[in-house]
């Protein structure tokens, strides 16, 4: 510190400038210790990984170097450049720490933003699902009230024939709606309820036959993605199909060690490019699961089968 202000005779203990330099050195050490404690506390509060503490190696090494340096008075007295070098090293160490924690703070903020966006998407998904439930229930109850009113008129007019027809229509509609929203898989139930408004808008009937539902070898995201893709391609392929023949069937079964998840979709004149696109679309899921494959077959009854095969000798949760 003395050479920084062009003072001389730094080793004279009785000189006032020596005491000023000593006080400044102690203050600098206290500042470094305070910053060190603050940085450690900041790491603990923000749950940074333990390897982040490696950043303290450089400033600690500088302190130990200065503390074990022999005859540093003679070295400083020989040249003031040495003192400036040590000061620059100290300042650069503090700069490294500050830049490092600014970067880590920026990464933390980015992570919080992603989590906030994820929470928003979850809330939006739940809202849309509740909205679909409300619209479906309202539509069904409104239609049910209308049909009950008609049946009441048939009863008053003693019109048994039309009453029987209306009752059978009501039973068929109720049965179809029940089958469209209920399956033996909770994930598929959720997906169907999420798509039900779009399916009804396109006048597509959906049914399921889930004979095997132990899909623990798949993650929840993978299983959701599979069923969602089945419905997405079902809606797409049924666009050119006559309204009275639009249908999507989702099935699952286990034969030996092979677990099968597939769908049958009514369609007409499917192109080879679309088949390749479907295979590529499911490829990331297959790559994450060993002993898996996909089969796409165009059937003679104007339909297409998309079947995923998973071979598991001991199905374990991922």
Q: Could you read off the pLDDT of 255-275 as tens digits, one per residue?
A: 988 999 999 999 887 888 888
Q: Which of 4-8, 126-130, 282-286, 288-292 has the highest mean pLDDT?
A: 282-286
Distance, in Å, from the CA atom of 197 to the CA atom of 39, rounded to the nearest integer, reads 54
Instruction: Using DSSP, state whether 262 is helix, strand or coil.
Output: strand
User: What mean pLDDT is predicted for residues 247-255?
Assistant: 93
User: What mean pLDDT is predicted for residues 203-228?
Assistant: 90
Q: Which of 33-37, 50-54, 76-80, 152-156 has the highest mean pLDDT?
A: 152-156
Instruction: Using DSSP, state whether 159 is helix, strand or coil.
Output: coil
Tell me the sheet residues that pair with 260.
Answer: 253, 309
pLDDT over threshold 90, residue 230: yes
Percentage of the chain modeled with pLDDT above 70: 75
Confirm if 250 and 188 have CB atoms less than 8 A apart.
Answer: yes
User: What mean pLDDT is predicted for residues 192-203?
Assistant: 85
pLDDT higher at 87 or 225: 225
Instruction: Using DSSP, state whether 248 is helix, strand or coil.
Output: strand
Q: Which residue has the tokens 């003031």?
A: 80
Position 18 scores a pLDDT of 62
CA 191 to chain centre: 17
Position 279 scores a pLDDT of 92
pLDDT over threshold 50, residue 6: no
pLDDT over threshold 60, residue 72: no
Distance, in Å, from the CA atom of 49 to the CA atom of 36, rounded to the nearest integer, reads 17
Name the residue among 246, 261, 241, 252 with its Cα closest to residue 306. Answer: 261
DSSP state string for 254-303 = EETTEEEEEEEEE-SS--HHHHHHHHHHHHHHHHTSSSEEEEEEEETTTE
Span of 45-49, 114-118, 135-139 with lowest mean pLDDT: 45-49
Distance, in Å, from the CA atom of 54 to the CA atom of 51, rounded to the nearest integer, reads 6
Q: How confident is the model at residue 1 (pLDDT cuts 50, 70, 90)?
A: very low
Q: Which of 46-60, 97-111, 294-308 has the highest mean pLDDT?
A: 294-308
Q: How confident is the model at residue 305 (pLDDT cuts 50, 70, 90)?
A: very high
Distance, in Å, from the CA atom of 108 to the CA atom of 106, rounded to the nearest integer, reads 5
Which pTM does this prediction carry?
0.57
Q: How confident is the model at residue 59 (pLDDT cuts 50, 70, 90)?
A: low
Position 249 scores a pLDDT of 93
Q: Which residue has the tokens 């539902």?
A: 213
Position 71 scores a pLDDT of 55
Q: Could you read off the pLDDT of 132-189 as tens digits, one per residue?
A: 777 777 777 888 888 888 888 888 888 888 888 888 888 887 877 776 667 778 888 8
Q: State the SS3 of 182-244.
A: CCCCHHHHHHHHHHHHHHHHCCCEEEEEECCCCCCCCCHHHHHHHHHHHHHHHHHHHHHCCHH
Q: For 178, list phi and psi in degrees, rounded to 5.
A: -65, -45
Q: Which of 6-15, 93-102, 223-232 has the highest mean pLDDT?
A: 223-232
Q: Which residues contact 96 (CB under 8 A, 6 or more apart)?
A: 55, 58, 59
User: What mean pLDDT is predicted for residues 239-261?
Assistant: 91
Confirm if 128 and 196 have CB atoms less than 8 A apart.
Answer: no
């Amino acid at each position: 510190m003395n050479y920084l202000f062009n003072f001389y005779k730094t080793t004279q203990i009785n000189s006032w400038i020596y005491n000023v330099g000593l006080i400044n050195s102690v203050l600098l050490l206290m500042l470094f210790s305070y910053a060190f404690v603050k940085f450690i506390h900041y790491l603990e509060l923000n749950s940074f990984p333990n390897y982040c503490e490696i950043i303290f190696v450089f400033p600690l090494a500088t302190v130990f170097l200065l503390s074990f340096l022999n005859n540093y008075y003679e070295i400083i007295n020989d040249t003031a450049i040495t003192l400036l070098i040590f000061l620059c090293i100290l300042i650069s160490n503090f700069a490294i720490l500050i830049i490092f924690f600014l970067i880590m703070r920026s990464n933390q903020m980015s992570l919080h933003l992603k989590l906030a966006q994820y929470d928003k998407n979850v809330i939006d998904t739940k809202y849309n699902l509740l909205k679909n439930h409300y619209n479906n229930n309202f539509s069904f109850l409104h239609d049910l009230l209308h049909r009950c009113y008609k049946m009441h008129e048939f009863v008053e007019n003693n019109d048994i024939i039309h009453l029987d027809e209306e009752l059978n229509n009501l039973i068929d509609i109720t049965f179809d709606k029940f089958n469209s929203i209920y399956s033996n898989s909770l994930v598929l139930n959720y997906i169907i309820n999420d798509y039900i408004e779009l399916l009804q808008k396109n006048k597509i009937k959906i049914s399921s036959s889930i004979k095997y539902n132990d899909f623990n070898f798949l993650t929840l995201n993978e299983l959701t993605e599979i069923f969602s893709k089945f419905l997405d391609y079902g809606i797409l392929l049924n666009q050119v199909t006559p309204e009275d023949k639009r249908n999507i069937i989702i099935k699952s079964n286990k034969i030996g060690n092979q677990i099968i998840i597939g769908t049958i979709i009514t369609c007409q004149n499917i192109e080879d490019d679309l088949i390749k696109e479907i295979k590529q679309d499911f490829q990331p899921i297959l790559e994450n699961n060993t002993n898996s494959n996909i089969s796409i077959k165009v059937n003679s009854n104007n339909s297409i089968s998309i079947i995923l095969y998973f071979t598991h000798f001991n199905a374990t949760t991922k």
